């Protein structure tokens, strides 16, 4: 779609990164996940019996719905069996803005006590025991979404009476908010989803895996709040003019009109997150929005939201001088001009007699 709008996204993956990432993941999961289970045991659950041979259930099924159902079933069986189990690329569903989104974590491990752990395998190195904080943060946010999705599954498993696999739990929503709590009286307790995930990375400059436990409680509650606040897609769709269509096959002007009918709040952070960023940036710049330079500007500039408004207020051509934001802007403009003109050199090294 970004390409069809004439502002193709800059995202792409180098095949070198791709190959190396895959090779590392394969290595971590080799031998029935022996190394991976060992790391989970060592870092998260050292008191449990050490894994000898892990179970790796087959999760293949037709279509995303089939795969999520297969995943849920495998989770239930593994939880009941109480043995170390590795779910390789399970598929989870999570409702986002009112429609289901499918998520595929690198792995989920079921512990002998029936609790579940999300595993993220990344190819950035853990150097002398610590990895790039920004990358760890991104991985934690990603894992938090998986944990939320797993909690939904856990809640459903807890809610369903024996023998009714796949049935939707009535109170899945409330339950997920308190995943560690016991569930309704007449059913088994919901399995526990651990809020500490395992981040597996190459050690130093090698291809040997090393891992670290990451507590994602904070990211989880932030994500949960964001998900709760999202406008439902249906509501957005309802607000659009009849017949709006986002097909990339449309002629560019039509597609542009369609895209512009959806409100967007571009900020520079979009550049590293969204494929439409160049399109939205063009639009934001064309509107002269100050936030195209950074979100923080909004707070700094009070009610002034466009470049032209701010500049004219700062020059004294518009704006209410009793508005503190306007007054501060004018003073800033004065001071800036004074310093740049080299005018009365009011700075300490140059203090001297006024003429």
Partner 1 sequence: MSLITTLARLEAVDTGRAQPLATVRHRHLSDRPLVFVPLTTAGEAGAPLGALVGTDRDAPRLLVVPQPRDRDLRFAFLAELADVVLPYIDSYAEDVEAAERNETDPETGKRVKVEVELCADAPQLIVPSRAGIDFVRLLGRSMRFRRTAEQDPETPHPAPPRVPLLGRWLTHYGERARVPGSSLLLALTDVLSRHWATGQSSLEDQHLGALLAWIDPPDDESGAEAALRAELQRDAKGQLVCPPAGPATDPAFDNKLLAPAIERYDRARTALAAAEDGIEADDRLGELTAAERQIRDLVASRTRPTWDAVWRGLDLLRALPEGAHATDRWTRDRWSFTGHRDRVLAGEPPQPRRDDAVTAANKLATREREQARLEAQEALDDPLVMAGRRLAGEAFAGEVTDVVMAYSEGKRPSPRPLVTVRTDDRPHLGERAKVYRSLGGKPQAAEFVGYEGNGGNGEEQGGYGEEHGGYQSGGALDDNGALVVLRVVDKMGRGKEPETGSVPEKGDLVCFTLFEHEQRGGAKLPDPEETPWTHGGPPGETEATPQLHAPDAVTEEDVL
Q: Provide CB contacts within 8 A for 69, sequence distance 6+.
A: 61, 166
Residue 178 as a binder of partner 1 (CB under 8 A): the answer is no
Q: Which is nearer to partner 1, 47 or 353 (CB)?
A: 353
Tokens for 265? 């709040």
Residue closer to partner 1 by CB (options 224, 330) is: 330
User: What is the distance between the alpha carbons of residues 189 and 236, in angstroms, rounded to a whole number?
Assistant: 38
Task: Note the Cα 286 to chain centre separation in Å.
Answer: 29
Separation between Cα atoms, residue 222 and residue 219, nearest integer Å: 5
Using rule CB under 6 A, residue 293 touches ligand SF4: no
Q: Which is nearer to partner 1, 81 or 346 (CB)?
A: 346
Task: Name which of partner 1, ligand SF4, none residue 99 binds, using a CB cut-off of 5 to 8 Å depending on partner kind.
Answer: none
Look at the block and give the residue holding tokens 């439409």.
276
List of residues 6+ apart from 210 with CB closer than 8 A: 39, 126, 200, 201, 202, 203
Q: Is 265 in the site for ligand SF4 (CB under 6 A)?
A: yes
Q: Give 62 or 354: the residue with its C-beta nearer to partner 1.
A: 354
Task: Out of 64, 302, 305, 318, point to the residue binding partner 1 (CB under 8 A).
Answer: 302
| CB of 266 vs ligand SF4, minimal distance in Å | 4
148 phi and psi, to 5 degrees? Answer: -60, -45
Q: To the nearest whole angstrom, how small is the minimum distance from the Cβ of residue 201 to ligand SF4?
A: 28
In sequence order, the β-bridge partners of residue 94 are 101
Residue 39 three-state SS: helix
- Residue 317 touches partner 1, criterion: CB under 8 A: no
Q: Kindly tell me which of 99 and 130 has the beta carbon lying closer to partner 1.
A: 130
Per DSSP bridges, beta strands 85-88 and 92-96 are unpaired
DSSP 60-90: --SHHHHHHHHHHHHHHHHHHHTS-EEEES-
Using a 10 angstrom Cβ sphere, with 0-12 exposed, 13-18 middle and 19 or more buried, the burial of residue 34 is middle
211 SS3 class = strand
Structure tokens at 313: 């207020």
Tell me the two tokens of residue 308: 């032209």
The footprint of ligand SF4 on this chain (CB under 6 A) covers a number of residues equal to 8
Residue 146 as a binder of ligand SF4 (CB under 6 A): the answer is no
For position 348 contacting partner 1 by CB under 8 A, the verdict is yes
Does position 332 interact with partner 1 (CB under 8 A)? The reply is yes
204 near partner 1, rule: CB under 8 A: yes
Instruction: Name residues contacting partner 1, limited to 220-279 (CB under 8 A).
Output: 268-269, 271-272, 278
**Could you say whether residue 280 binds ligand SF4 (CB under 6 A)?**
yes
Rule CB under 6 A: is residue 233 a binding residue for ligand SF4?
A: no
- Closest separation in Å from C-beta 32 to partner 1: 21
Under the binding rule (CB under 6 A), the answer on residue 264 touching ligand SF4 is: yes
Q: Which structure tokens are listed for 345?
A: 């050199």
258 binds ligand SF4 (CB under 6 A): no
Q: Whose CA is closest to 216, among 117, 93, 87?
A: 117
Q: Which residues bind ligand SF4 (CB under 6 A)?
A: 264-266, 270, 274, 276-277, 280
Q: Which residues bind partner 1 (CB under 8 A)?
A: 10, 12-17, 19-21, 23, 122-125, 127-129, 202-208, 268-269, 271-272, 278, 285, 288, 290, 292-294, 296-297, 300-302, 307-308, 310-311, 314, 324-325, 327-329, 331-333, 335-336, 338-340, 342, 344-349, 351-354
């Amino acid at each position: 779609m970004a390409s069809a709008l004439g502002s193709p996204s800059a995202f792409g993956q180098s095949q070198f990164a791709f190959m190396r990432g895959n090779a590392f993941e394969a290595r971590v999961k080799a031998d029935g996940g022996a190394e991976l289970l060992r790391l989970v045991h060592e870092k998260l659950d050292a008191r449990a019996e050490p894994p000898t041979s892990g179970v790796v259930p087959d999760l293949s099924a037709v279509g995303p719905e089939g795969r999520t159902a297969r995943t849920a079933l495998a989770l239930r069986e593994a939880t009941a069996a109480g043995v170390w189990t590795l779910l390789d690329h399970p598929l989870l569903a999570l409702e986002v803005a009112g429609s289901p989104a499918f998520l595929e974590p690198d792995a989920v491990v079921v512990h002998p006590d029936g609790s579940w752990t999300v595993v993220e395998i990344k190819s950035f190195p853990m150097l002398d025991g610590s990895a790039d904080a920004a990358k760890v943060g991104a991985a934690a946010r990603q894992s938090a979404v998986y944990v939320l999705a797993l909690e939904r599954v856990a809640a459903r498993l807890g809610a369903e009476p024996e023998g009714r696999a796949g049935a939707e739990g009535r109170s899945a929503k409330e339950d997920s908010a308190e995943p560690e709590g016991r569930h309704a009286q007449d059913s088994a307790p919901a399995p526990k989803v651990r809020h500490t995930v395992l981040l597996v990375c190459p050690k130093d400059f090698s291809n040997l895996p090393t891992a670290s436990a990451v507590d994602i409680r904070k990211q989880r509650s932030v994500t949960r709040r964001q998900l709760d606040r999202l406008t439902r897609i249906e509501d957005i769709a309802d607000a659009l003019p009849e017949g709006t269509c986002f097909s990339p096959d449309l002629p560019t002007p039509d597609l542009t009109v369609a895209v512009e009918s959806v409100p967007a709040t571009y900020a520079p952070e979009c550049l590293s997150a969204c494929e439409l960023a160049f399109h939205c940036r063009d639009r934001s710049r064309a509107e002269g929005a100050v936030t195209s330079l950074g979100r923080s500007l909004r707070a700094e500039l009070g009610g002034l939201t466009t470049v032209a408004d701010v500049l004219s207020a700062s020059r004294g051509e518009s704006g209410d001088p009793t508005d503190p934001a306007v007054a501060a802007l004018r003073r800033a403009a004065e001071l800036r001009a004074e310093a740049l003109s080299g005018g009365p050199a009011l700075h300490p090294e140059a203090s001297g007699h006024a003429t």
